[in-house]
Chain A
Amino acid sequence: MFENLSLHELQIYWWIIISLLGGLFVFIMFVQGGQTLLNQLSDNETEKTMLVNSLGRKWELGFTTLVLFGGALFAAFPLFYATSFGGAYWVWLAILFTFIIQAVSYEYRTKADNFLGAKTYETFLAINGYLGTFLLGAAISTFFSGAAFVLDDNNFVSWSVSTRGLEALLVWQNYLLPFAMIFLVRIIGGMYFLNNIDHEPIRAKTRLMVKRNILMFLPFFLAFTAWVLLKDGYAYDPETLKVGLVPMKHLTNFVEMPAVGAMFVIGVVMVLVAVFNSVYRAKNCCIFTMGIGTVLTVMALLLNVGLNGTVFYPSVSDLQSSLTIVNSSGSHYTLMAMSYASLMVPFVLAYIAYVWYAMDRVKITEEEITSSGEHHY
Chain B
Amino acid sequence: METMGSELVNWSRGQFALTAMYHFLFVPLTLGLSFIVAIMETIYVKTGDEKWKKITRFWMTLFAINFAIGVATGLIMEFEFGTNWSNYSWFVGDIFGAPLAVEGILAFFMESTFFAVMFFGWNKVSKGFHLLSTWLVAVGSNLSAFWILVANGWMQYPVGMAFNPDTVRNEMASFWDVALSPVAVAKFLHTIGSGYVIGALFVVAISAWFILKGRDVIEAKRSMVVGASFGLLVSIFLAVSGDESAYQVAQHQPVKLAAMEGLYKGEERAGIVAWGVLNPEKQIGDDRPEFLGDITIPYALSFLGYHDVDAFVPGLDDLVYGNPEYNIESATSKMVKGRIAVEALTAYKAAKKAGDDAGMAAANEKLQQYMPYFGYGYLDKPTDIVPPIAITFYSFHVMVGLGIWFIVLFLIVLYLLMANDITRFRKMLWLSLLSIPLGYIAAEAGWIVAEVGRQPWAIQDLMPVGIAATQIDAGNVQISFWLFAILFTALLIAEIKIMLRQIALGIHGGH
Given contacts A82-B93, A374-B122, contact A331 B494 (CB under 8 A): no
Whether B115 pairs with A71 at a CB distance below 8 angstroms is no
The answer, yes or no, to whether B404 is at the interface (CB within 8 Å) is no
A152-166 Cβ-contact flags toward B at 8 Å (1 or 0)? 011111110010100
Whether B68 pairs with A103 at a CB distance below 8 angstroms is yes
Task: Give Cα A338 to B103, complex, Å.
Answer: 11
Whether A355 pairs with B117 at a CB distance below 8 angstroms is yes
| Main DSSP-derived SS at the B contact region | helix
Task: Give Cα A71 to B79, complex, Å.
Answer: 9
Whether A60 pairs with B168 at a CB distance below 8 angstroms is no
**Which residues, 73 to 110 on A, are CB-close (under 8 Å) to B?**
73-76, 78-79, 81-87, 89-90, 92-93, 96-97, 99-104, 106-108
Task: Give Cα A74 to B86, complex, Å.
Answer: 11
The answer, yes or no, to whether B284 is at the interface (CB within 8 Å) is no
**Which residues, 14 to 58 on A, are CB-close (under 8 Å) to B?**
53, 57-58
Whether A106 pairs with B68 at a CB distance below 8 angstroms is yes
Task: Give Cα A359 to B171, complex, Å.
Answer: 43
Total inter-chain residue pairs, C-beta < 8 Å: 275
- Total count of chain B residues near the partner, CB < 8 A: 87
The answer, yes or no, to whether B235 is at the interface (CB within 8 Å) is no
Given contacts A78-B93, A78-B97, contact A71 B78 (CB under 8 A): yes
B110-135 Cβ-contact flags toward A at 8 Å (1 or 0)? 11111111011111110001000000
Residue of B nearest to A355 (CB): B113
Task: Give Cα A108 to B498, complex, Å.
Answer: 8
Residue of B nearest to A354 (CB): B113
Chain A residues lying within 8 Å of B123, measured Cβ to Cβ, are: 373-374
Q: With both chains docked as a complex, state the minimum distance between the C-beta of B289 and any C-beta of chain A, in angstroms.
A: 45
Chain B residues lying within 8 Å of A157, measured Cβ to Cβ, are: 86-87, 90, 470-471
Residue of B nearest to A72 (CB): B101
Given contacts A60-B71, A64-B109, A113-B500, contact A341 B102 (CB under 8 A): yes
Chain B residues lying within 8 Å of A92, measured Cβ to Cβ, are: 79, 82-83
Q: With both chains docked as a complex, state the minimum distance between the C-beta of A198 and any C-beta of chain B, in angstroms.
A: 14
Chain B residues lying within 8 Å of A159, measured Cβ to Cβ, are: 471-472
Which listed segment binds B: A206-214, A245-253, A299-307, A344-352?
A: A344-352
The answer, yes or no, to whether B49 is at the interface (CB within 8 Å) is no
Whether A96 pairs with B75 at a CB distance below 8 angstroms is yes
Chain B residues lying within 8 Å of A331, measured Cβ to Cβ, are: 94, 164, 167, 171-172
The answer, yes or no, to whether B95 is at the interface (CB within 8 Å) is yes
**Which residues, 321 to 371 on A, are CB-close (under 8 Å) to B?**
330-331, 333-334, 337-338, 341-342, 344-345, 348, 351-352, 355, 358-359, 361-362
- Total count of chain A residues near the partner, CB < 8 A: 78
Chain A residues lying within 8 Å of B141, measured Cβ to Cβ, are: none
Q: With both chains docked as a complex, state the minimum distance between the C-beta of A242 and any C-beta of chain B, in angstroms.
A: 16
Q: With both chains docked as a complex, state the minimum distance between the C-beta of A304 and any C-beta of chain B, in angstroms.
A: 24
The answer, yes or no, to whether A115 is at the interface (CB within 8 Å) is yes
Whether B105 pairs with A61 at a CB distance below 8 angstroms is no
A113-132 Cβ-contact flags toward B at 8 Å (1 or 0)? 11110000000000000000
Chain A residues lying within 8 Å of B497, measured Cβ to Cβ, are: 113-115
Chain B residues lying within 8 Å of A82, measured Cβ to Cβ, are: 82, 86-87, 89-90, 93
Given contacts A57-B120, A97-B483, A374-B123, contact A67 B78 (CB under 8 A): yes
The answer, yes or no, to whether B347 is at the interface (CB within 8 Å) is no
Across the interface, A60 reaches (CB within 8 A) one of B93, B100, B116, namely B116
Residue of B nearest to A340 (CB): B175
Across the interface, B494 reaches (CB within 8 A) one of A99, A114, A355, namely A114
Residue of B nearest to A154 (CB): B168
Q: With both chains docked as a complex, state the minimum distance between the C-beta of A16 and any C-beta of chain B, in angstroms.
A: 15
Task: Give Cα A67 to B77, complex, Å.
Answer: 10
Chain B residues lying within 8 Å of A351, measured Cβ to Cβ, are: 109-110, 113
Task: Give Cα A358 to B121, complex, Å.
Answer: 9
Given contacts A67-B75, A103-B75, A341-B105, contact A359 B97 (CB under 8 A): no
**Which residues, 16 to 59 on B, are CB-close (under 8 Å) to A?**
57
B469-507 Cβ-contact flags toward A at 8 Å (1 or 0)? 011110010001001000100110111011011100100
Given contacts A67-B104, A157-B86, A164-B472, contact A111 B65 (CB under 8 A): yes
Whether A156 pairs with B86 at a CB distance below 8 angstroms is yes
Chain A residues lying within 8 Å of B120, measured Cβ to Cβ, are: 53, 57, 359, 374-375
Whether B483 pairs with A155 at a CB distance below 8 angstroms is no
Most buried by A among B89, B117, B169: B89
Q: With both chains docked as a complex, state the minimum distance between the C-beta of B41 and any C-beta of chain A, in angstroms.
A: 14
Whether B501 pairs with A334 at a CB distance below 8 angstroms is no
A167-199 Cβ-contact flags toward B at 8 Å (1 or 0)? 000000000000000000000000000000000
Residue of B nearest to A81 (CB): B82
Whether B175 pairs with A81 at a CB distance below 8 angstroms is no
The answer, yes or no, to whether A240 is at the interface (CB within 8 Å) is no
The answer, yes or no, to whether A112 is at the interface (CB within 8 Å) is yes
Across the interface, B510 reaches (CB within 8 A) one of A103, A164, A333, A372, namely A372
Chain B residues lying within 8 Å of A81, measured Cβ to Cβ, are: 81-82, 86, 89, 93, 97
The answer, yes or no, to whether A13 is at the interface (CB within 8 Å) is no
Task: Give Cα A102 to B480, complex, Å.
Answer: 18
Most buried by B among A86, A96, A331: A86
In order of increasing CB-CB distance, the 7 nearest A-B pairs are A86-B86, A85-B82, A78-B93, A68-B104, A74-B97, A75-B97, A103-B72
- Offer 19 A-B interface pairs, CB within 8 angstroms, sorted by A: A68-B101, A68-B104, A68-B108, A72-B101, A74-B81, A81-B93, A85-B89, A89-B470, A100-B75, A114-B494, A115-B497, A116-B494, A154-B1, A156-B90, A159-B471, A331-B94, A358-B121, A359-B121, A375-B511
Point out residues on A near B: beta carbons under 8 Å: 53, 57-58, 60-61, 63-64, 66-68, 70-76, 78-79, 81-87, 89-90, 92-93, 96-97, 99-104, 106-108, 111-116, 153-159, 162, 164, 330-331, 333-334, 337-338, 341-342, 344-345, 348, 351-352, 355, 358-359, 361-362, 372-375
For the complex with contacts A67-B78, A100-B487, A337-B172, 12 further pairs of A-B residues with Cβ separation under 8 Å are A63-B75, A67-B74, A71-B101, A75-B101, A78-B94, A99-B75, A111-B498, A154-B168, A155-B167, A344-B105, A355-B113, A374-B123
